[in-house]
Structure 1
């Protein structure tokens, strides 16, 4: 017995008759052709043979929630799957921009321009990594700050799809799967060459190639992209020197330093049941708004650089008809460097401006084994074992223009961490329509201690149109190396979250809707002390309550509506204050029109409600904003050219991100209004698929 047979009874019940099954397949194929561009006009007109040949590609399956392939409708919790081609057609350029289209997800910026992602209001603050980010199943969160900023900058031309789970995911994925899990699936099965261009002198190339030998069951692929830009203008009228009456020292008014350079190479080799994955990312950006909220010079300096080198080797071993084992070994190097990072202007501490250089390197090694067992009727068992070791190789800095001598070690470079993990999971069905999932994971940290992450979920397929879901899950977020070195208390404990979710899916041939209600309790969340501004602490407990609603409607083969709405009330328990950085209201609306077979026009509207500032920040909340993107796409089925031409922020709306507090004699040094973002701008992506 295998997992496909285990869930086959569920799939068989999705149509009431053979006629209904064919009709459902036809509509499903027509809908997904919007994003993937897979169907020809003949297929849309009813070519059932072609539809049958595409059904395997159109299956929306994910391993993210349970580590076993299942239809996204049947996994515990709500899984969102974004197709790379459809996200491009809707105007998203990078992974970071695409994630903003997921219900409950909102983007943010760190002061030096690093991308952040908030899930259900959780995740604001310096070095705030509360979402597990996987690249083809390989964890990319650094132990320094729990973030994976270079991964968020990957162009969507390299991405086949993005899988997202909101809410706790530690029971399967361990550390940093605190407020969500994101897995990026890169393109490995096509051949293409393309170029990219955009506002701010953006220019780039991308290319993909694959080769396979079916007789030897051998396949190889390579996927690369490079993007450089002088930077899209984000104009700053006044920086933190203004409130200090030191305007004469400031570089404001002027543009933020948003220069960028991003290079990525992904390579995959598969030989039978063995596989190897190589991931190289080199990401550099300007220092945007300055690490102390003093606007840097507009010189295009790439002051912040991060590099990832990740290698994964694996083998899938079939034991019997009832069981198989997947073995994995991973080695990851993460470097985070600063090159003349602007700190203080000339005249602030001395005659010369102050700059900082910084070098940091960590290495992570991991061994893992997953045993899948289907030998018990009605049960799919998973036993997972993992062992990881993380160590700091280098953590040094040097200063120019600073009047005092500083210790060259800015972080304990002897710091290391050992993690031993075990998980057990049972997916079992009660009859033909109810599936229960019980998962328990234990992680033992050499520097933090032991942590349990349980999950209990039920999915009830009431009939072909109605699916009901219930879930309870707990997750944890260990302190990072940076937080441990700059903690106020001698023992900084792991933050924890417990979440209760109720989900409902209603599906009809031409439309569907999804609803999820959630309640989450945050215990000891790790945060920067926004009162005294002098280190990291376990903050007060908080509670999250909210609702997320999704709706899709297909009007024949030429028009589609995709919308979602998120309402969340994220508050501290002690004073009922809102959590910083988040918004109570998020909404997306996409209108896609196919006037002809190969052409798609998309209007994407994104609304973000008022964003909350830190508890002790006396300023008003950041105003709500609405951004409209317009995109026109041409894509030929199979081999041929493709073009995406778009305008972002069509109405030139003002969009701001809330800033993060630093300190100056107890006074917060901030930009008066927050971090500005670019206005209207154009972009282009074109190429040829071979």
Structure 2
């Protein structure tokens, strides 16, 4: 019995491891073409911009003020990112209302939105300048991929739109859409160097450069390198506790290193963008919930996009994009430690490999039909390929018997191709001076599962000079990924090529109010139902992926903020969320009902800036059948101190994470499943998170 359980755990673990503007410019690529032409704003103008004139692109695929956008959205600017000392995208997202970050046994950080938390965060669309980073294999941009660790030095702003976005963007714009807008050459105008180091033997170097030459040619880009040994944590017990092979209590090996490069070149209305990222990252406690001394997998990914914008006639423009994406996963992992079972002297090793390729194009037309009415229409076509899929291991995946060396064994997935054709339409109409209506829809045809149609409608009513009401409705979908469709040779669960897409329907109501130019507040309510969720149908052996799940979630997000100048501002936010299984009315596990945050930035002098973040996370429940107490609430405080303006363009920053060394954990998500000895949960003490840490950096602009 234990042997069968062992084979099931190992094989399942391996499967999881595999896992319009002037000149026709594309607004998703150029968030603001007018920045350099504006004069330096006065303090009053800065305060007004802080509250209502931030430029948002993601909500409508064209420039819209945050106040008028038909979306519940948050913008995090480059100044805010710099002041908080953000290391990567995760540091930014954890402070967004309705968002949460947690880790799992693989060491990957899952992003939760409005109570919806999944292992691969595949229900969130992540883009750079409108280019999707989500991958074909597991549908995610945040797990085993690139987006969560993106460096922040070349970022103009991060736009986060909560709620469905498939009416414009298609697949994965399910619970949220994140668009990372990069800086352009005029904004950089020179070369910026940055280097730093800190806790856990962490080192970082970054180069950003950009220049406009003449009236037509621009070039900008960045190069970033990061490495760390990771925090020294202690896991008291793992799934091998009670056997002679456990390394617990012990410390996970959390070493990682990454290189990131980005290039943007423009000539007139022609723009090229390219991004390259490579990463080597170890596991937290191993894919089978067992501490090991092994290294994690490697990945290499890059993409290139060519865009051309054309003004056809006055009020009518077109933008054409052609793109190519490549992703290569070498996922060798040590599942169990050296000496396991007395027959694996080098540990039990698995290495699922694959490559992904996407070739696509999109044509978007922008048309001012008449005064106060703007129409967007688009077509897109993509070919998604998964190839060179194979599995190496030093054991037989069917019997668990040792093979003596790592060699090719029965495959875990298969080569696959998917073609997608889509068309979308959106109309923005200013019905009255105070009332704006946006309506649109998108049709997608997938060569493997068929068709999906997703509408949206949004009404924005400025019922007072300084108050706005938003009423929003939308539908979205998530296509089944290649793992869910085609996993094979797995005694626990196999893929199902007959899966349908998951669907979500969301209603939102938002209210925003500006008391004066120093103070603003907002509140919104959301209600979503999710149908055809992919889960395990256990009526067969092995289980099979099936559209058997149904969930609903509702909640309230509130925020108040103030500003007394460009460098003195504060924000408070609170979120309540109630996600439930619609079939049983059981509360969904691992996510809190309550979360609150606070941000204060204060420039003591022109030489010294202080920034602090406070994040409180409420108790998190366990699933039914897991009898351990719910996860306790916790509070973390971050602090960043920046010295500037004392010598030319030199800046020195010290950023401290978890200032008061709060000891907290993320939940073991095995649901109370027993360890291999049958004596208790796999990881009874859950997953400890890092305590206090610091990073000191210096930057200089030439």
Q: One fold, TM greater than 0.5?
A: yes
Contact 1:479 1:494 in 2 (8 A): yes
Question: Structure 1 residues 344, 528: closer, same or farther in 2, change over 3 A?
Answer: farther
Aligned positions of 1:496-511 closer than 5 A: 496-507=503-514, 508-511=516-519
- Aligned position for 2:192: 192
Cα distance between partner residues in 2 of 1:401 and 1:198: 40
In structure 1, the gaps of 5 or more residues are: 5-21, 35-57
Question: Structure 1 residues 605, 530: closer, same or farther in 2, change over 3 A?
Answer: farther
What does the per-residue CA deviation read over 1:450-481, in whole Å, with 9 as the maximum and x for residues that have no partner?
A: 01110011011223310110000000011100
Contact 1:2 1:374 in 2 (8 A): no
Task: Report the CA distance between 1:167 and its aligned residue.
Answer: 1.2
Q: Which moved more, 1:618-627 or 1:95-104?
A: 618-627
- Aligned position for 1:175: 171
Among residues 69, 77, 80, which one is paired with 2:63 in the alignment? 69
Task: For residue 492 of structure 1, give the secondary structure of its aligned residue in structure 2.
Answer: coil
Question: In the alignment, is residue 553 of structure 1 matched against residue 554 of structure 2?
Answer: no
Task: Report the CA distance between 1:535 and its aligned residue.
Answer: 5.1
Task: Report the CA distance between 1:214 and its aligned residue.
Answer: 2.4
Task: Report the CA distance between 1:351 and its aligned residue.
Answer: 4.2
Cα distance between partner residues in 2 of 1:593 and 1:647: 16
Contact 1:124 1:580 in 2 (8 A): no
- Aligned position for 1:202: 202
Among residues 632, 643, 658, which one is paired with 1:634 in the alignment? 643
What does the per-residue CA deviation read over 1:381-425, in whole Å, with 9 as the maximum and x for residues that have no partner?
A: 010101001111211121125625697353443211111101011
Task: Report the CA distance between 1:534 and its aligned residue.
Answer: 4.6
Cα distance between partner residues in 1 of 2:342 and 2:122: 33
Question: In the alignment, is residue 219 of structure 1 matched against residue 228 of structure 2?
Answer: no
Task: Report the CA distance between 1:576 and its aligned residue.
Answer: 1.5
Q: Which moved more, 1:653-662 or 1:25-34?
A: 25-34
Task: For residue 418 of structure 2, give the secondary structure of its aligned residue in structure 1.
Answer: strand
Question: In the alignment, is residue 686 of structure 1 matched against residue 698 of structure 2?
Answer: yes
Task: Report the CA distance between 1:557 and its aligned residue.
Answer: 6.6
Among residues 336, 355, 358, which one is paired with 1:364 in the alignment? 358
Task: Report the CA distance between 1:31 and its aligned residue.
Answer: 8.1
Task: Report the CA distance between 1:661 and its aligned residue.
Answer: 2.5
In structure 2, the gaps of 5 or more residues are: 1-19, 24-38, 488-493
Task: Report the CA distance between 1:276 and its aligned residue.
Answer: 0.3
- Aligned position for 1:336: 329
Task: For residue 622 of structure 1, give the secondary structure of its aligned residue in structure 2.
Answer: coil
Equivalent pairs counted in the alignment come to 642
Cα distance between partner residues in 1 of 2:477 and 2:275: 27
Aligned positions of 1:2-81 closer than 5 A: 26-29=43-46, 59-81=53-75
Task: For residue 197 of structure 2, give the secondary structure of its aligned residue in structure 1.
Answer: strand
Task: Report the CA distance between 1:229 and its aligned residue.
Answer: 1.1
Contact 1:622 1:673 in 2 (8 A): no
Cα distance between partner residues in 2 of 1:408 and 1:502: 53
Contact 2:22 2:311 in 1 (8 A): no
Aligned positions of 1:336-415 closer than 5 A: 336-343=329-336, 345-348=338-341, 350-352=343-345, 353-400=347-394, 403=401, 408=409, 410-415=411-416
- Aligned position for 1:120: 114
Cα distance between partner residues in 2 of 1:637 and 1:266: 31
Among residues 622, 629, 633, which one is paired with 1:620 in the alignment? 629
Cα distance between partner residues in 1 of 2:22 and 2:267: 23
Task: For residue 153 of structure 2, give the secondary structure of its aligned residue in structure 1.
Answer: helix
Task: Report the CA distance between 1:84 and its aligned residue.
Answer: 3.2
CA RMSD in angstroms comes to: 2.8
Task: Report the CA distance between 1:529 and its aligned residue.
Answer: 6.7
Cα distance between partner residues in 2 of 1:564 and 1:156: 23
Question: Structure 1 residues 596, 617: closer, same or farther in 2, change over 3 A?
Answer: same
Cα distance between partner residues in 1 of 2:54 and 2:595: 25
Question: In the alignment, is residue 422 of structure 1 matched against residue 423 of structure 2?
Answer: yes
Task: Report the CA distance between 1:366 and its aligned residue.
Answer: 0.8
- Aligned position for 1:50: none
Contact 2:477 2:502 in 1 (8 A): yes
Among residues 665, 670, 675, which one is paired with 2:682 in the alignment? 670
Task: Report the CA distance between 1:615 and its aligned residue.
Answer: 3.9
What does the per-residue CA deviation read over 1:594-621, in whole Å, with 9 as the maximum and x for residues that have no partner?
A: 1102321122111111223334433332
- Aligned position for 1:51: none
Task: Report the CA distance between 1:530 and its aligned residue.
Answer: 9.5
Q: Which moved more, 1:362-371 or 1:183-192?
A: 183-192
What does the per-residue CA deviation read over 1:15-58, in whole Å, with 9 as the maximum and x for residues that have no partner?
A: xxxxxxx9x96334158799xxxxxxxxxxxxxxxxxxxxxxx9
Task: For residue 329 of structure 2, give the secondary structure of its aligned residue in structure 1.
Answer: strand
Question: Structure 1 residues 557, 207: closer, same or farther in 2, change over 3 A?
Answer: closer
- Aligned position for 1:525: 533
What does the per-residue CA deviation read over 1:533-564, in whole Å, with 9 as the maximum and x for residues that have no partner?
A: 95533343111110001111124676422111
Cα distance between partner residues in 2 of 1:382 and 1:556: 37
Question: In the alignment, is residue 513 of structure 1 matched against residue 505 of structure 2?
Answer: no
Task: For residue 167 of structure 2, give the secondary structure of its aligned residue in structure 1.
Answer: helix
Cα distance between partner residues in 1 of 2:395 and 2:504: 44
Task: Report the CA distance between 1:91 and its aligned residue.
Answer: 4.2
Among residues 279, 288, 299, which one is paired with 1:306 in the alignment? 299
- Aligned position for 1:585: 594
Question: In the alignment, is residue 153 of structure 1 matched against residue 149 of structure 2?
Answer: yes
Question: Structure 1 residues 61, 358: closer, same or farther in 2, change over 3 A?
Answer: same
Task: Report the CA distance between 1:163 and its aligned residue.
Answer: 0.6
Contact 2:537 2:544 in 1 (8 A): yes
- Aligned position for 2:161: 165
What does the per-residue CA deviation read over 1:86-107, in whole Å, with 9 as the maximum and x for residues that have no partner?
A: 1342243210121011000001
